[in-house]
Amino acid sequence: MAVTHQSANRAKSLPEANSPLRRAPVQERSAARVQRMLNACAEIVEELGYEGLTTTLLAERAGVAIGSVYQFFPDKRAVVQALTQRNLNSYLSKLGQKLADGSFSHWQEVVDAAIDEYIEMHRSAPGFRVLHFGDVVDRHLLAADRDNDGVIARSLGEVIVEHGDVKPGSELDLAMLIAVTTGDALIKLAFRQDSEGDPAILAQAKLIIRDYLARTVMS
């Protein structure tokens, strides 16, 4: 069964999380300023790591007054949280766009697409190799009620359910959490071995995840 437009749209939506913003920007100019801050945050983290990030350096790099930073964010953790949410939105949106054309005919193809998009984030998103989806800062950066892997696992589980191969439930939730956590560890290993991701390790990661899901919830 082809992936439905409903699954693609669902993949585009960010799971609920507490907003890190003191207040949401209303004017277009303010929204653009916030995006410049997030871009600057990504660049600094890429160069100096999370420990090297300061609000003063962020303001300088973004070309804004330090007061503008604190107008929207209480501290550097909140800036990183907003950047992480933006990265997750980008990941789910791009995955949704891939699935929307209806050319995926098997759950394994959906899993491969999810892994491929995660790999691409490592290659192209500034700061992502350092931050990933926020674990370097806080295991609960994306949502207070579950850890970051759990947020990703639930979102991807919904995509697979919409694909029509498995029913939702606690068994799927657990399987997806294990798959996401395992895949994340293997992909990190691949990028430690090779700056572009060791092809052999990435290929093994796909095989391991597909085999695990096939033997548990996809059988």
pLDDT in tens, 168-212: 899 999 999 999 999 999 999 999 999 999 999 999 999 999 999
Band the pLDDT of 27: cuts 50, 70, 90.
confident
Helix axes 148-163, 5-12, angle to 10 degrees: 170
> What are the chain's domains?
5-215 (1.10.357.10)
Q: Cβ contacts of residue 109 below 8 Å, gap of 6+?
A: none
The dihedral of CA 115, 136, 126, 30: what is its sign? positive
Q: Are the beta carbons of 131 and 45 closer than 8 angstroms?
A: yes
Identify the sign of the CA torsion 208, 210, 214, 216.
positive
Judged against a pLDDT cut of 90, whether residue 75 lies above it is answered with yes
What is the mean predicted confidence (pLDDT) over 64-89? 95
Strand ranges, E, within the chain: none
Mean pLDDT for all residues in the chain: 88
